[in-house]
Amino acid sequence: MKQHILWFIIFSLSVSPMLPAGNGGSGYSRYGIGDVRYTFSERAIGMANSGLAALSSTSIDQYNPAAWSGINRTRFSVGVQYEGFNTTDGANSAYLSGTGFGGFMLAIPVYTTSGIVFGTGITPYSSVNYNISSTSSYGSLLYNVKYAGEGGLSEGHLGLSYIPGNDFSLGAKFSYYFGTMRHNVSQSFSTSEYSNASETRSMEAHGIGATIGIIYSGLGKALNIDSSRTLSVGLVLSSSSSLKATEKHYYAFTSTSNQVTIRDTTVFPGTTLTLPLRLGFGAAYSTKEFLVASDLLYQQWSSFNGTGVVLGNFTNSSRFSIGGEIFPHHEGTASFFQRLAYRAGFFYDASYYNINGESINELGFTGGFGIPVVSDTRLNIGIGYSFRGTTNNGLQQDKIFRLSFSLNGSERWFLPSEDE
């Protein structure tokens, strides 16, 4: 069993640089830094990515480092996600899909009495993934124009949590943002009398940021709620981050003999890409058997400036989510079905895209399961279906299906056996 889990981790990490290209996703990801990711933990996926105020001993929160303070055993999580887009512009439709790395996190308790837990990992921050092709004519001349993009930004995490007392949990982490975004436009003709051409614009960016988080889990006591129930609130603030970027433009023209006759590369060093401040607030109500959580996120994208690669107009984004989990039994002696975790959620995302004067919003529903594998290791499956965008003003509407798999395990996989 350990070997199967190890191979799952190796596979998930190895596909991360090559899978995001897929065979295409949403055309909206050609704008800005692409689709911003909101995957905060393997458990939260099935709960519409809610739960920044929830303390857990078995789940690693990618967003709020204060939530790590509840972890009392070394834990890891790793995952992958499939996305399918049924896209229409009102006249034509297509189904495009891709699979991407869902993230890897590791939490190591240092001093559990004070909630000091070290956390690290790497997760997606944004994703560029589209492949759009259209055939047109000019008189009797047929030509094809293709738009394709891939890449995005990733976030590396390094931080600590701490419990100072009085039902407060604190956390702080440094983030290292890095990645490459590529956009290609190519035009090909049906006759050799015309030269085909393509332009590729790419941007490599990297920089640091910081996040601080706090969770207060004593609200239930203040409101005289039964001690078997916990009511908590949480707050997370991620700083704005200036990323150093290098922008490159590649041009190619193909002669009638199908040989490249002209190539040119233009480099624009010293470009700055600024990720805006993000603020999150959440509340959670839980017992040993269930959890209900709700979050509200806000990010100041209105001041985000585009460049030759980062195109588009942007507006401040906000995201509301609410979700829940039912977990009947935690005991290892319980039956398989009694140890299943059942999850569901709803979200509304007013994204940072503002295209042709239209705000691009997304409404979706999620569900999921936590399946026991061995001991407290669990396979988490998340399913989501959402609606995004509009066909007004020449835009597109997406119906998005998401399916994620993640594995969460504990220190049993890292400790040597007694024979060693």
What pLDDT tens digit does each residue of the chain (420 aa) get? Answer: 454 444 444 444 444 333 333 466 788 998 999 999 998 888 999 999 999 999 998 899 999 999 999 999 999 999 999 999 998 888 888 888 888 888 999 999 999 999 999 999 999 999 999 888 777 777 777 778 888 999 999 999 999 999 998 899 999 999 999 999 999 988 887 777 777 888 888 999 999 999 999 999 999 888 888 888 999 999 999 999 999 998 888 888 776 655 656 677 777 777 888 899 999 999 999 998 899 999 999 999 988 876 666 777 899 999 999 999 998 876 666 778 888 999 999 999 999 999 888 999 999 999 999 999 887 889 999 999 999 999 888 888 999 999 999 999 886 544 444 444
Overall domain count for the chain: 1
- What pLDDT does residue 225 have? 86
Q: Quick check: is 99 in a domain?
A: yes
d(CA 276, CA 297): 13
* C-alpha closest to that of 40 among 28, 25, 56: 56
- Cα 235 to the center of its chain, rounded Å: 19
d(CA 117, CA 160): 5
Query: What CATH number corresponds to the domain at position 359?
Result: 2.40.160.60
- What pLDDT does residue 256 have? 60
Consecutive H or E run containing 298: strand 290-299
Q: Tell me whether residue 356 is exposed, middle or buried, using C-beta atoms within 10 angstroms of its C-beta: 0 to 12, 13 to 18, 19 or more.
A: exposed
Give residue 99's domain range.
2-413
Q: 0.75 exceeded by the pTM?
A: yes
d(CA 371, CA 90): 40
Give 17's contacts (C-beta < 8 A, 6+ positions apart).
none
d(CA 164, CA 161): 10
- What pLDDT does residue 417 have? 45
Which string of b and e fits 212-222 if b means at least 16 CB within 10 Å?
Answer: bbbbbbebbee
Q: Quick check: is 25 in a domain?
A: yes
- What pLDDT does residue 141 have? 75
d(CA 127, CA 308): 18
- What pLDDT does residue 205 have? 93
Q: Quick check: is 419 in a domain?
A: no
d(CA 417, CA 420): 5
Q: Quick check: is 224 in a domain?
A: yes
- What pLDDT does residue 9 have? 40
Q: Quick check: is 232 in a domain?
A: yes
Q: Quick check: is 68 in a domain?
A: yes
- What pLDDT does residue 416 have? 45
- What pLDDT does residue 302 have? 87
Q: Quick check: is 217 in a domain?
A: yes
Q: Quick check: is 418 in a domain?
A: no
Max Cα–Cα distance, the chain, nearest Å: 82
Consecutive H or E run containing 374: strand 358-374
